[in-house]
Structure 1
Amino acid sequence: MMSGWLRRLPIFWQTLLLVLACLLVAQAMSIAMFVSVRPPRPQVYPMGDIAEALGAPRHGRDDDDTPRLATQLTRSAPTADTEGMVTDSSMVSRLAERLGVPVSCVRLFYEADQSATYPFRFKKVDSGVPIRHGEPMFFNTVLAGVQKDGVWRVVRTPDKPWISPWQQRTVLWFVLSALMVLPLAFLFARQLASPIRRFAAAADRVGHDPRAPAVPVGGPAEVRLAAQALTAMQLRLSETLAERTAMIAAIAHDLRTPLARIAFRIETAPDALRKPVQSDVEQMRAMIAATIGFVRGVHVGEKKGLDLLALVQRIASHCHEMGSKVSVAGSPAWVEGDSVALERLFQNIIDNALAYAGSAEITVIADEGRACVKVADRGPGLPEPMLDDAFRPFNRGDPSRSRQTGGIGLGLAIARSIAAEHGGTVTAANRDGGGLVVTTEFPAAPHLAPAS
């Protein structure tokens, strides 16, 4: 784990330190490999090695990494069977002299070195074989043979492996360096991502509820600055909302006095004028009461385990007593919540269905950790672009403010606010065959159900 001071460093310095640490680890691995592993010997075959392989077993060089020459005995003289192999009389004479046999008893074929210039300290000759300190050096395929007692002893350089030893060591070096650096990169990524995830979760909570707890200040300097800025913005939003809420509540409250005077003065007016004005006054009073209730916020009391099926059945029974058509089906679904607030939530949704369709069909479902309540009706429904707007304050499907078709457009907005306070969601969708389905989902709490 990173120490406290390191976690508080800016992301720039944390990244720079990680790069430097990885570089140091990689260099340490390189030095360790350089010291502990012997460097690969070039795959070069001096003529002396070839002569030893033809004349006697190799000796004195068992510790080198050069592949051994393949040896075989045959009755026939070797011939060049690889395209590009050549022979040179001077090289054959040198080999025969080394073996102490006539030139006619020696065969030597090789692939001439194609380099434009030979390595340092190597002399270029017409035979195409570099010579160092008078010793011909063969870097490519060699095929040689000597005849003794009627039998040809033939040697050939082995085929080059797909991955040579020095390449294997290089790959091992890279793998070990990556394995050494990986834990550092993992710790860095985890320590850097953790405060960012916490910041994102806190910012999401603030986006849903300005009264949510402030964003925790921690992690790199950039994240701390962002958290402080978001906390300041949250305070400003809360103050602005509080001021506007207080202003709207004050205006709505002050309107009650002139409405009371209007209602008092209209009492002596003729019936033809008094009754319509009284109806308007009552409607304005209802609108003012609803507005005051909304701007004061949704109060959620103590939460405890409750069954949504039993809750909506109780609401449905009240609706039946008022002559409304409400049906309930489904299975028990336990959640943790305030029964008064949730009853208000579902009452608003059911009232909305009754206002526009005259009936409501309720289904309660508990599945996969979610408790779901669907309230469906056979009303006119809503155009698709307006489905989410239905939950905005003072927005109604019916643009009028007629009391015969509902209130002032706060019922669904209040329902969504109560659902958010319980960690749930409220959505609307058009129903197949006409009508609307309002779906409310909460985190299920089956562990709160009483033992049977």
Structure 2
Amino acid sequence: MRSFRFWPRSLQGQMLLAIALALLVAQSIGAALVWRAQVERSESSIAHALAFRIIGGALRSEGMDMDRRDARRVLRALRRGDEGPHPMRLVRGEDSGRIDDERDADLEERLAEILAAQSVEIAELEVFRRPVKEDPVAARSVARRLERDIGDPGPPRTVIVAAARLEAGDGWLIARTFDPPRDRGLGGSLILQTILIYVLLVGAVALLLRRITGPMSALTRRVEQFARDPTLPPDGQVAPQGPLDTRRLINAHNRMESRIGALLDEKDVMLGAIGHDLKTPLAALRVRIESVEDDAEREALVRTISDITNTLDDILSLARVGRPSDPVETTELSALVIGVVEEYEDMGENVELGDTQRVVLPLRATWVRRAMRNLVSNAVRYAGGAYVCTAKRDNQAIVRVEDEGPGIPENEIAFMMEPFQRGDPSRNRGTGGAGIGLTLARAIAEQHGGTLTLSNRTDGKTGLIAEIALPLEPKEKPRGRG
């Protein structure tokens, strides 16, 4: 899928990416919480600074019911929370602010809570945020600071204005404080912290995963090699390494591989014995048949023995296809196909050579020739002829055998490549055969890392298409015993 084309395919890559994404989410949440805490602290500092000025002005107003001891207590409590930079004097006015001022409802609520907690009753309260350059009092304060060169990191840009009316009809007490600058080093510290966590945690996990995935990758390569060629020598087995579970898995595979190799060796010995024990008496029987005087009877017996011998050859070949004895050689496939077609033409069969593209690849020529003969023989037997061609397609070599016969019902195509399945219900080899040819052809294709597919023609004609696809560059070159 296009949306996941950059998703790593290996276990190590997926685990590291998952951990990296989890860390990114966790750090993002942490950064948001730290930023929110900084904003809360800044707003609390602003609210206390404004409350300090308003209560100080209220204490100097008439009618404030509070003795000196309580007033000092309130001012000390507010002063401890006053973190606002460079206070500006409290002023009185008839208007709370301008029409276009931006009110801050959250700060109004926080300031009202602080004043109420100190038992200061306020009839009306309004809080505004205003650019410094648009507030004359704040602008003069900033100008004085710049003249004195106090050493601030930079002039503030925003001033917070709080206007409080103690009683209805009274004038406004107007307090100001600058919006404190945010911690500019917070982003850098968070980035540095994230990089440090990534290096330590992802690095440690990468080392641990490498101890697991390294032996697993070696084991996977060995399994793939053994699946293609069971004749691999046991000295190439993967040495147990990594964590305990991985070592146990490797040991179990090595034992299983050794057992499979022993079973295959026993099978080869058994097949050799069967071939010898059956073919020897068949050869002797064929010699004795020559003494039969009736020509028709003799020919029938010869055909029967020939059918038995050919069937035995097919069965033995199918059993040995997984452990071939001939080596892999670089071969021109198109020349191999031309040779097979010429054999059938010499026998007078209706086999036609179509388009042939030169294709060179490593293969076992004897086995591939056997597979092509089986496909052509099936086409000749059931359709009376065959059309053979070769081509390159998607880094594969293609051998295509077409006929104009009755084809195969779609629901029976998969069964036709199983052993002893025949397209003709007759047991006469001239029509039905033993049903091993397609099975053997498929096994030979798979032995070379390829496939055999059957399909009915879709070009308006009846008939069957048998297609062998072989990889041009196999990942592991199959090896024989010879």
TM-score by length of 1: 0.62
Q: Does 1:342 align with 2:342?
A: no
Q: Which amino acid aligns with 1:286?
A: N
- CA distance in 2 between partners of 1:287 and 1:191 (Å): 52
2:94 matched residue in structure 1: 76
SS in structure 2 of the partner of residue 188 of structure 1: helix
SS in structure 2 of the partner of residue 216 of structure 1: coil
SS in structure 2 of the partner of residue 255 of structure 1: helix
- Work out whether residues 53 and 175 of structure 2, in 8 Å CA contact, stay in contact via their aligned partners in 1: no
With over 3 angstroms needed to count, the CA separation of the structure-2 counterparts of 1:248 and 1:197, relative to structure 1, is: same
Counterpart selection for 1:182 from 202, 227, 250 = 202
Point out the more displaced range, 263-272 or 242-251. 263-272
- CA distance in 2 between partners of 1:213 and 1:70 (Å): 90
- CA distance in 2 between partners of 1:424 and 1:146 (Å): 90
Give 1:357 deviation, angstroms: 1.7
Counterpart selection for 2:269 from 234, 243, 246 = 246
Give 1:376 deviation, angstroms: 1.8
Q: Which amino acid aligns with 1:78?
A: S
- Work out whether residues 92 and 107 of structure 1, in 8 Å CA contact, stay in contact via their aligned partners in 2: no
2:305 matched residue in structure 1: 281
- Work out whether residues 107 and 146 of structure 1, in 8 Å CA contact, stay in contact via their aligned partners in 2: yes
- Work out whether residues 53 and 90 of structure 2, in 8 Å CA contact, stay in contact via their aligned partners in 1: no
- CA distance in 2 between partners of 1:221 and 1:74 (Å): 80
Point out the more displaced range, 73-82 or 199-208. 73-82
Q: Which amino acid aligns with 2:238?
A: P
Superposition map of 1:296-375 within 5 A: 296-297=320-321, 298-304=324-330, 306-324=331-349, 325-375=351-401
Q: Which amino acid aligns with 1:322?
A: M
1:291 matched residue in structure 2: 315
With over 3 angstroms needed to count, the CA separation of the structure-2 counterparts of 1:380 and 1:253, relative to structure 1, is: farther
Point out the more displaced range, 370-379 or 209-218. 209-218
- Work out whether residues 354 and 387 of structure 2, in 8 Å CA contact, stay in contact via their aligned partners in 1: yes
- CA distance in 1 between partners of 2:454 and 2:285 (Å): 40
Give 1:323 deviation, angstroms: 2.0
Give 1:234 deviation, angstroms: 2.2
SS in structure 2 of the partner of residue 353 of structure 1: helix
1:236 matched residue in structure 2: 259
- What is the CA deviation profile of residues 353-410 of structure 1, one whole-angstrom value per residue up to 9, with x for unaligned ones? 2222222222322233222222222233334454344444444433544231365344
1:143 matched residue in structure 2: 162
- CA distance in 2 between partners of 1:416 and 1:444 (Å): 17
- Work out whether residues 352 and 406 of structure 1, in 8 Å CA contact, stay in contact via their aligned partners in 2: no
Give 1:216 deviation, angstroms: 1.9
Q: Does 1:197 align with 2:222?
A: no
- CA distance in 2 between partners of 1:348 and 1:396 (Å): 13
Give 1:338 deviation, angstroms: 4.1
SS in structure 1 of the partner of residue 453 of structure 2: strand
- Work out whether residues 90 and 174 of structure 2, in 8 Å CA contact, stay in contact via their aligned partners in 1: yes
Q: Does 1:216 align with 2:235?
A: no
With over 3 angstroms needed to count, the CA separation of the structure-2 counterparts of 1:303 and 1:268, relative to structure 1, is: closer
Q: Does 1:426 align with 2:452?
A: yes
Give 1:421 deviation, angstroms: 4.2
- CA distance in 2 between partners of 1:311 and 1:249 (Å): 29
With over 3 angstroms needed to count, the CA separation of the structure-2 counterparts of 1:286 and 1:270, relative to structure 1, is: same
- CA distance in 2 between partners of 1:365 and 1:65 (Å): 83
Q: Name structure 1 gaps, 5 residues minimum.
A: 1-14, 31-37, 94-105, 112-140, 446-452
With over 3 angstroms needed to count, the CA separation of the structure-2 counterparts of 1:408 and 1:89, relative to structure 1, is: closer
With over 3 angstroms needed to count, the CA separation of the structure-2 counterparts of 1:276 and 1:435, relative to structure 1, is: same
**Number of residues paired by the alignment?**
367
Give 1:236 deviation, angstroms: 1.9
With over 3 angstroms needed to count, the CA separation of the structure-2 counterparts of 1:378 and 1:227, relative to structure 1, is: farther
1:155 matched residue in structure 2: 175
With over 3 angstroms needed to count, the CA separation of the structure-2 counterparts of 1:323 and 1:70, relative to structure 1, is: farther
- What is the CA deviation profile of residues 180-212 of structure 1, one whole-angstrom value per residue up to 9, with x for unaligned ones? 323333443344334323323432443444334
Q: Say which structure is richer in helix.
A: 2
- CA distance in 2 between partners of 1:69 and 1:269 (Å): 134
SS in structure 2 of the partner of residue 405 of structure 1: coil
With over 3 angstroms needed to count, the CA separation of the structure-2 counterparts of 1:159 and 1:48, relative to structure 1, is: closer
Aligned identity (percent) is 27
- CA distance in 1 between partners of 2:88 and 2:202 (Å): 44
2:406 matched residue in structure 1: 380
With over 3 angstroms needed to count, the CA separation of the structure-2 counterparts of 1:41 and 1:288, relative to structure 1, is: closer
With over 3 angstroms needed to count, the CA separation of the structure-2 counterparts of 1:153 and 1:175, relative to structure 1, is: farther
Give 1:88 deviation, angstroms: 5.9
- CA distance in 2 between partners of 1:160 and 1:388 (Å): 78
TM-score by length of 2: 0.59
- Work out whether residues 397 and 470 of structure 2, in 8 Å CA contact, stay in contact via their aligned partners in 1: yes
- Work out whether residues 363 and 374 of structure 1, in 8 Å CA contact, stay in contact via their aligned partners in 2: yes
- Work out whether residues 456 and 465 of structure 2, in 8 Å CA contact, stay in contact via their aligned partners in 1: yes
Superposition map of 1:91-106 within 5 A: none
- CA distance in 2 between partners of 1:160 and 1:377 (Å): 88
With over 3 angstroms needed to count, the CA separation of the structure-2 counterparts of 1:291 and 1:49, relative to structure 1, is: closer
Q: Name structure 2 gaps, 5 residues minimum.
A: 1-14, 31-37, 58-78, 98-102, 128-159, 474-482
Give 1:329 deviation, angstroms: 0.8
SS in structure 1 of the partner of residue 430 of structure 2: helix
Point out the more displaced range, 373-382 or 205-214. 205-214
Give 1:158 deviation, angstroms: 7.7
Q: Which amino acid aligns with 1:193?
A: T
With over 3 angstroms needed to count, the CA separation of the structure-2 counterparts of 1:360 and 1:65, relative to structure 1, is: farther
- CA distance in 2 between partners of 1:336 and 1:365 (Å): 16
